[in-house]
Amino acid sequence: MRGKGSLPSLPVAVDAMGGDDAPESVIAGARLAAERGIPILLVGQPEKLADAGDFELVPASQVIAMGAEGAVSVRRMKDSSLVRAAEAVRDGRASAMVSAGNTGAAMAASLLRMGRIRGVARPAIATPIIVPGRAWPNVLLDAGANTECSPEWLVQFAQMGAVYCRDRWGVEEPRVGLLSNGEEAGKGSLLVKEAFELLSSGGWQSRAGAVFAGNVEGRDLLGDLVDVIVTDGFTGNVALKTAEGVAKQLIGALLKAFESSEEARKGAELLAPALAPLYNEFNPDSVGGAILLGISGVSIISHGASSPSALANAIQVAHELAQRDTMSSLRRVLAAR
């Protein structure tokens, strides 16, 4: 039986060996998710998972290292936790998979074991980006799966991003922006200009129930101008890491200032209640990881440094997407052409 990802009783396959503090952090995240009533299948080295409690286990003797080359590792390490997790979905033992391990390997394992949705040229990594003051994030894709892209792939990214945005956050008619170096039509690289032409045509928009909102700029990444932002995997990766880097630098400098004197510490204490909602709003843990779109199954990739609560959220998102059968929505939209 092929996994359909639509049976609510099926567990989520969790790669217990992936992540900076695996397996401890992953086990803790799985426990949090289990407390929310989500059935879980832990995949990894049994001897390392002895303390995991009464989770159902899928044994896997190998671990793909964080820095290893993804596709090569997946081909060589057939008994790795990532490969076994993807196989659990393929074989209908799990409804979805979640890993905080090697992104390239998670991608390769998902692609090679689950296959891609019919009609999809290339799967893309869709990463949610927090929009302050708005209930749902912007979806950026491709955030790094495909370094070189064709204009046609960008149109598919737009379709997949729109379906995902609607299915996951209930945005009725997602606005799709094309990341460029200027908002005017006609701005951009050759790729962007050609993609702009293709995206401007009505066909894909009505099929995906989306609207093309034109070019957007780097400054719109966290803005409420659109709901989905499409770009090639090179630019997407640079933009995402730039955003993360700036936020980290600013917050780090701020926290240091809070500790810089007795007076500052007192001020920070008074500010704490006002800053707490901000912290939650900007906390990437809350959005639950990136998803690989275009794969024939739900595959969520969490940050290597994911906290247990971030992992629990990722597991919950994977579970919900499988229940809602987002993959069937994607199949319908991508089949119609």
What residue ranges bind a second copy (CB under 8 A)? 132, 144, 147-148, 179-182, 187-190, 192, 217-223, 233-235, 237-254, 257-258, 260-261, 263-264, 266-275, 277-278, 281-282
The residue written with tokens 């081909």 in the block is 75
Q: Within 13 A of 185's CA, how many CA atoms are on the CB side?
A: 10
Cβ(19)–Cβ(46) below 8 Å: no
Peptide linkage before 142 cis (omega within 30 of 0): yes
Q: Which is nearer to a second copy, 143 or 334 (CB)?
A: 143
* H-run or E-run covering 211: strand 211-216
Minimum CB distance to a second copy, residue 250 (Å): 5
Tokens of 39: 């059935």
Q: Which is nearer to a second copy, 257 or 336 (CB)?
A: 257
CA distance 165 to 312: 20
Q: Which is nearer to a second copy, 241 or 332 (CB)?
A: 241
Minimum CB distance to a second copy, residue 171 (Å): 20
Would strands 228-230 and 211-216 be described as parallel, antiparallel, or unpaired? Answer: unpaired
Minimum CB distance to a second copy, residue 39 (Å): 36
Minimum CB distance to a second copy, residue 73 (Å): 14
Minimum CB distance to a second copy, residue 215 (Å): 11
Amino acid found at 232: D
Tokens of 77: 């390490």
Minimum CB distance to a second copy, residue 269 (Å): 7
Tokens of 94: 């799990």
CA distance 79 to 85: 10
Q: Which is nearer to a second copy, 158 or 192 (CB)?
A: 192
Q: Which is nearer to a second copy, 35 or 263 (CB)?
A: 263
* H-run or E-run covering 307: none
Q: Which is nearer to a second copy, 46 or 218 (CB)?
A: 218
